[in-house]
Chains A and B, each alone.
Chain A
């Protein structure tokens, strides 16, 4: 053990002895203390040192945040995929305005409207084109194993340029022929290895839709949605051949193209005034919102994903709260000592909040990486458009940050138990 220095050599740091400063004045100086930012940084550093000292506890806290993070990412990813896949078809339609029956809830379950409304729309001079779109679901027979599955049919005047799916343009002439369809290459594999068969044969392959033999002449790309596992595009005539019960005078949607330079809002108002109330006149954005609203409000699935995200946050918050709470409880003496040394409750609250926010960052980063990996796995398995972009990452980080901050604020109450008077 080191020897205690003799009195004459004691305290060499004493400023009045070393000439660094005059002896202390009789009245004690008023100390200003560090600024708010400096004190906060010091508090966060103290929090980090405390967390780092107990590695097992730190690891379990990070695992808790990571779990919450992945859960929220996956739920929001599914929710985003639901909305994106649901509006994918609408987003690929080329039109400034759309006519739809007011009773139509979603595109995969349309209510027909009179075809004559398309002709009536053409009465407006600013309307350049009004193209009917037919939507229905029918049965597809897998050409390899014969299994049957429901598929979405999209019937249009293929030459009118109403749809903008990748791969469609080169197939327009072939699709004008009788009993031909273009198959969505992103459809679920249960529909059969259509792309491989087409490549193998180098020409059309036979398929069966709604008990009618059809030729698949090529591939397009749309992607499955929660409403449809697969899609085919076909001409109006071929659509009516498959969907025999469909009346010639009934359509599901009309895509209206306006002349260049036309004010869309004014044209929309004029069309609403012109057409009877059995049609809604919507912009493409409004049509998207209508579709999205159906999934968000009229089905349980949108709510389930939102609820799943919330549950992830609640579970994460409970984990972080438990960790912080037990951390404060086990360091009660240290906190009380700091209070005795003149650290304010506000400073110590910043230590706890600092710990919470360190956990938020430390849990988010591996959570982001793991979620990115899982998005790839799930997208490959479901063919759903799960996208982890900067906006989603920012949103989830905000949620995790808030979750940890709330857990920290709840845990801060435990600091009141640290009484400096109990240290004596």
Chain B
């Protein structure tokens, strides 16, 4: 089973005369442990595609099987449940400012009833150590640098042991060194954990981490190139 299998996926905003298609008959498969970079000009449909795969929107047409769950006609509850198995990394990290780094990461585990409070915090601490933030666990996001915040958001995305990570411009707000650190972290993760990563980016500095680069234009996939290892 592949983490992402899209067949004939189409999506449009608006209705009637205002209807504007943004995705047209998209087919895409992302394999376990594969890093796929999604590129293309603004308005090409990358972000909409990411939100549909992330079960953040209701589907309109086609089939999207994500982590084994069909999203077409899926209920809101089913989509909420699926989202707990996906790691999200946002451009602006979106950490909760009133929580410490450890608490932010532990938030991703609260929906998992199997872990108690102490176990959640312990695991969050180990994850922060794994992304190079040992000693920063009890700092609030305002006390961390941009790169450190993004690493916290990577740790948060990893916390629930996801089968798929969706990242939107994770390096856009970072300097070159921090950006490199974050993408290396993601690459290491994909390879060691077998996590599929779908990454939207305009950043040419990180193209080399991909297994495959998928280019989109006008709501269609126009190119899909495997990057030689």
List residues of chain A with CB under 8 Å of any chain B CB. 1-5, 7, 10-15, 23-24, 26-28, 30-35, 38, 42, 49-50, 52-54, 333-334, 336-344, 420-421, 423-424
Contacts and interface: CB of A to CB of B under 8 A. Distances in A.
Interface string B111-137: 111100000000100110111111110
Contacts of B215: none
7 contacts: A1-B148, A4-B132, A5-B130, A32-B113, A33-B111, A34-B112, A340-B56
B129 to A, nearest CB: 7
Contacts of B91: 424
Given A334-B96, A342-B80, A342-B81, A38 B132 contact: no
Contacts of B54: 340, 424
Given A2-B135, A341-B84, 10 more contacts: A10-B130, A11-B193, A28-B67, A28-B85, A31-B81, A34-B113, A336-B94, A341-B88, A343-B111, A424-B200
A7 B188 contact: yes
Given A33-B111, A424-B90, A4 B181 contact: yes
A340 B160 CA distance: 13
Interface of B: 1, 47, 50-51, 54, 56-57, 67-68, 77, 80-85, 88, 90-91, 94, 96-99, 103, 107-108, 110-114, 123, 126-127, 129-136, 145, 147-148, 156, 158, 160-161, 163, 168, 178, 181, 184-185, 188-189, 191-194, 200
Nearest to B47: A424
A343 B109 CA distance: 11
A42 B54 CA distance: 25
Contacts of B178: 1
B57 A421 contact: yes
A4 B193 CA distance: 17
Main secondary structure on chain A at its contact with chain B? loop
Contact of A337 (B94, B136, B168): B94
Contacts of B189: 10-11
Most chain B CB neighbours (cut-off 10 Å) among A2, A339, A424: A424
Query: What 9 A-B pairs have minimum CB-CB distances, sorted nearest first?
Result: A342-B84, A53-B98, A13-B126, A342-B83, A34-B113, A2-B132, A337-B94, A421-B56, A421-B51
Contacts of A420: 51, 56, 83
B127 A344 contact: no
B45 to A, nearest CB: 12
Given A13-B126, A24-B161, A53 B97 contact: yes
Contacts of B94: 333-334, 336-337, 423
Nearest to A3: B132
Contacts of A4: 131-132, 181, 184-185
Contacts of A27: 1, 68
Contact of A1 (B81, B127, B145): B145
Contacts of B134: 2
A13 B185 contact: no
Contact of B168 (A3, A23, A34, A424): A424
A26 B54 CA distance: 19
A351 B193 CA distance: 34
Nearest to B69: A28
A309 B53 CA distance: 53
Given A10-B188, A424-B90, A31 B130 contact: no
B205 to A, nearest CB: 16
Contacts of A10: 130, 185, 188-189, 192
Contact of A35 (B107, B113, B168): B113
Contacts of B88: 337, 340-341, 423
Contacts of A340: 54, 56, 83, 88
Nearest to A24: B161
A390 B68 CA distance: 58
A340 B56 CA distance: 7
A423 B81 CA distance: 18
A342 B147 contact: no
A5 B126 contact: no
A54 B84 CA distance: 29
Contacts of B135: 2
Contacts of B130: 5, 10-13
B107 A341 contact: yes
Contacts of A54: 98
Contact of A34 (B80, B96, B98, B110): B110
A270 B131 CA distance: 91
B191 A7 contact: yes
A344 B99 CA distance: 20
A233 to B, nearest CB: 66
A14 to B, nearest CB: 6
Contacts of A53: 97-98
A31 B113 contact: yes
A32 B114 contact: yes
A5 B132 contact: yes
Contacts of B127: 13
Given A2-B134, A3-B132, A340-B56, A33 B112 contact: yes
Contacts of A1: 132, 145, 147-148, 178
Contact of B123 (A13, A28, A35, A342): A13
A187 to B, nearest CB: 58
Nearest to A21: B161
A344 B77 contact: yes
Contacts of A35: 113
